[in-house]
Amino acid sequence: MFGIPEPWWSVIRAVVWALFIIIFLAVNAIVAVWLERKVSGRIQRRIGPQRVGRPIGWAQTIADVFKLLVKEDVRAEATDKWVFLLAPAIPFAAITLMFLVVPWGKNLIPLNLNIGLLFVVAVTSFEVLGLFMAGWGSNNKWALLGAMRTAAAMISYELPMVLAILAVGMTAGSLNMNDVVNAQSRVPFILIQPVAFLIYYIASLAEANRTPFDFTEAESELVAGANIEYSGLRWAFFFLAEYGSLVGTSAIAATLFLGGWRGPILPGPVWFLIKTYLLVYVAMWIRWTLPRVRIDQLLDFGWKFLLPLALADIAVTGIVLALL
Amino acid sequence: MKVADIGKAAVNIAKGLGVTFGEQLKKPITNFYPDTPATVKDGYRGVPVLVQLPTGEFTCTACMACVRACPIGIIQLDTVMVDRKRAMDEFRLEVGRCLQCNLCVESCNFDALVMAPEFELASYTREPLVLYKNDLAKLYAKYFWPKEGEEHHFPARVTSKHHAPGAGTGTPRGPRAAKIAQTGVTLTPGGGGGEPAGKTPVGASVPAESAREATGTTRPQDTGAQKAGEGA
Ligand code: SF4
Ligand code: SF4
C-alpha cells in the first residue's frame, strides 16, 4: 500500500497502532481522573477541581502528571530490587495488550485475531501478576496483604467474567471481536444476554479494582495496598494501569454488549468512545455510591453466586441455541 | 448467602444509585470563598472587640470583669487614673489563643465588649495576633460603625441570657458558680480559679504609668522588635 513493500507496511502499521494505544491510555488517564473528580464532586454536591484551567479545572490532572514526573523515585533498601522495579510495567503492558483486539470501527482494529475474546481474557490476567510482584517485592506487610487480597479477588472474578464472555461468544458464534460486533448489527447483546452483561460488569469492577471491590487500594484499611512503597513515575504507572483497566473493561463491555462502534449518524470511533465512557461513568457513579465490601463477602459472592449464575446462563444459552 | 438477600441488596443498591444520581442534578453548595466574600451566621463568634463610639470614646470602664472571666487569661488591662477615677489605658487580647468562649462578653456589665464576626486572622507569626485596644476598636468600626447617614446603635450582645432558660436572673448559674459564690473565690487569669477574692491578677490592675516607671519595661508594641514582627 502507498508503494511501501508489505513487510515494512506491517511494521509501520504496528508502530502506529502501538503509539496510538499508549497515547490513548495516557490521555484517558488524564481525562478519566478529571471525570472521576468531577463526578465525585457533583455526587457530594461539590464542584470538583476548578482553579487550574478555569472554569472547569481541565488542567488539574495535567498539573498532577508534572508533579508525579518530577518526584523522586524512592526505593527502600529491603525491597527485592528487580521484582520491585519491574512490577509497575506489567499491569500497564497488560492493559495495552488488551486494546490490541478492540475494534474502533469498521475494519479499524489493531489486530484482527480469530480468538480475540480469549486473548482479552488471557492478557488481563497478567495485571494481577504485576500487582502481586509489587506487593511481594516491596517487602512491606500492607503491600503484601493488599496484593494477596487483589490476587484472591481477581482470580475469583476472572471465572464468572470468562463465562460471561463465553456466553457472548456462543451467541455470536465466533470469538473474533469483529464478528461479535457484526452479530449485533440489529440488536445489541445487552438485550439478548442481560444476565451475562450484569455478570461481566460486576466482575469487571472487581477486575479493574473499583469500589465496591477496590481491595488493591483499600485506603482506609491498607493505606494504599500493593503500591504503597512506590512514588513518582512508578506509582504513576500503577495509576495509569488502574484507569486503563477501567476504560479497558468498559471498552470490552461496550464492544461485547452495547454493539461496539455500531450506531447511527456518527462515525464508528465516536460511538465507541461514547459507549465506553458511558460505562466508565457508571463505574464512577457506583464507586461514589457504594462502600467497599468485606473480602469474605466478595469471595462468597463471586464463588457462590456469580459463578453458578454464569454457568446457568451458559447452559440456558446452549439449550436455546440448540433449539433454534 | 441467600438468594433473597441478593435480591434485597440489588433493590437497595438501585435505591442508593438513585440517590447519588439525584444529587448530581442539584446545584453544588460550594462557596467560592476567596473569590466571593464569605458570610457568617448571626451570632458568629470571631474576636471579642472593644466598643468604640464614633467620637473615639471607649465605653469600657476598666472594671476587670472580663479579665477575670477569661478562662485562659489572655486579656490584660492597664488602667490609669483620670479625674480620680480608674479608666482603661491599654487593653491587650492574645486572640491567637482565644477560645471564642464568649465568657468575656457575657461578663461585661457595660456592653463594652462584643463579638465581631471577623475570621480572616491567619498570619505567619504570633505577633499580629496580639491585639491592642486600637486594633480591637478598628475591628469594631469595621463591623459595627454606622454607614453614611445612619444612626449608631450598639450591636446586640449575644449572651447565654438569650438562649439559656432561667439565665440572666442575677443568681449564680451552675454548680461551679454556686461554689464560687459560696467560698468567695474569684476566677483569675491563668490560674485555676481558686485564688482568694481581692487578690488582683499580676500586672493587670497596677496603673500602667507607675508600673512602667517601676520596672523600666515598655509594652511590647513600643519596641522595635515588635514593629519588625508586625511589618513581616
Ligand atoms: S472569648 Fe473566651 S477565651 Fe476569648 S478572650 Fe473572651 S473569655 Fe477569653
Ligand atoms: S468587663 Fe467590659 S467594662 Fe469591664 S474591663 Fe472588660 S470590657 Fe471593660
Q: What is the mean pLDDT of residues A169-194?
A: 85
More confident residue, A50 or B193: A50
Determine whether the shortest distance from the Cβ of B136 to ligand 2 is under 6 A.
no
Interface test with B, best of A289, A292, A306 (most B CBs within 10 A): A289
pLDDT interval class at B158 (50, 70, 90): low
Q: Is residue A33 part of a domain?
A: no
Q: What is the mean pLDDT of residues A278-297?
A: 87
Question: What pLDDT score does B186 carry?
Answer: 41
pLDDT interval class at A1 (50, 70, 90): low
Q: Is the per-residue pLDDT at B168 higher than 60?
A: no
Q: What is the mean pLDDT of residues B155-179?
A: 46
From the CA of B92, the nearest ligand is 1
Closest CA to B97 of B113, B76, B77: B76
CB A195 within 8 A of CB A243: no
Q: Is the per-residue pLDDT at B155 higher than 50?
A: yes
pLDDT interval class at A218 (50, 70, 90): low
Highest mean pLDDT among A314-318, B2-6, B210-214: A314-318
Please tell me the distance in Å from B15's CA to the nearest CA on chain A: 10
Domain span at A125: 73-323
Joined grid coordinates for residue B151: 444612626
Amino acid at A297: Q
Question: What pLDDT score does A100 carry?
Answer: 87
Q: What is the DSSP letter of B96?
A: G
Neighboring chain B residues of A288 at a CB cutoff of 8 Å = 20
Q: Is residue A226 part of a domain?
A: yes
Q: Is residue A308 part of a domain?
A: yes
Instruction: Please give the Cα distance from A297 to A291 (Å, whole number).
Output: 13
| Total structural domains within chain A | 1
Determine whether the shortest distance from the Cβ of B65 to ligand 1 is under 6 A.
no
Going from the Cα of B103 to the center of ligand 1, the distance in angstroms, rounded, reads: 6
Neighboring chain B residues of A47 at a CB cutoff of 8 Å = 28, 30
Q: What is the pLDDT of chain B when averaged over all its residues?
A: 71
Is B29 in contact with A305 (Cβ distance < 8 A)? no
Q: Scanning the structure block, which residue is given the C-alpha cell 508534572?
A: A66
Closest Cα to atom 3 of ligand 2:
B60
Going from the Cα of B97 to the center of ligand 1, the distance in angstroms, rounded, reads: 9
Determine whether the shortest distance from the Cβ of B67 to ligand 1 is under 6 A.
no
How many residues in total does chain B contain? 232
Radius of gyration of chain B (CA): 25
pLDDT interval class at B154 (50, 70, 90): low
Q: Is the per-residue pLDDT at B11 higher than 50?
A: yes
Shortest CA distance from B13: residue in chain A: A290
Question: What pLDDT score does A219 carry?
Answer: 66
- pLDDT digit string, tens, across residues B39-97: 888 778 889 998 887 777 888 888 899 999 999 999 999 998 888 888 888 999 999 89
From the CA of B69, the nearest ligand is 1
Q: Is the per-residue pLDDT at B37 higher than 90?
A: no
Domains and their CATH numbers in chain B? 47-219 (3.30.70.20)
Neighboring chain B residues of A212 at a CB cutoff of 8 Å = none
Q: Is the per-residue pLDDT at B160 higher than 70?
A: no
Going from the Cα of B169 to the center of ligand 2, the distance in angstroms, rounded, reads: 20
Question: What pLDDT score does B15 carry?
Answer: 92
Q: Is residue A59 part of a domain?
A: no
Closest atom, ligand 1, to C-alpha of B102: 1
- Grouping H, G, I as helix, E, B as strand and the rest as coil, residue A265 is coil
Closest atom, ligand 2, to C-alpha of B58: 8
Is B1 in contact with A304 (Cβ distance < 8 A)? yes
Q: Is residue A137 part of a domain?
A: yes
Q: Is residue A258 part of a domain?
A: yes
Determine whether the shortest distance from the Cβ of B113 to ligand 2 is under 6 A.
yes
Q: Is residue A272 part of a domain?
A: yes
Instruction: Please give the Cα distance from B40 to A177 (Å, whole number).
Output: 60
Please tell me the distance in Å from B17's CA to the nearest CA on chain A: 6
More confident residue, A108 or B219: A108
Long-range pairs of B23-27 with CB within 8 A, sequence gap ≥ 24 = B23/A42, B23/A43, B23/A44, B23/A45, B24/A39, B24/A42, B24/A43, B26/A45, B27/A45
Q: Does A305 touch chain B (CB under 8 A)?
A: yes
The 3-state secondary structure of A212-258, one letter per residue: CCCCCCCHHHHCCHHHCCCCHHHHHHHHHHHHHHHHHHHHHHHHHHC
- pLDDT digit string, tens, across residues B128-148: 899 998 889 888 888 887 777
Interface test with B, best of A36, A38, A44 (most B CBs within 10 A): A44
More confident residue, A207 or A252: A252
ipTM associated with this complex? 0.76
Q: What is the mean pLDDT of residues B98-114?
A: 88
Is A45 in contact with B26 (Cβ distance < 8 A)? yes
- pLDDT digit string, tens, across residues A14-46: 898 889 999 998 898 889 889 999 888 888 888
Question: What pLDDT score does B76 carry?
Answer: 92
Neighboring chain A residues of B17 at a CB cutoff of 8 Å = 285-286, 289
Q: Is residue A41 part of a domain?
A: no
Closest CA to A279 of A258, A265, A298: A258
Determine whether the shortest distance from the Cβ of B63 to ligand 2 is under 6 A.
yes
Is A289 in contact with B16 (Cβ distance < 8 A)? yes
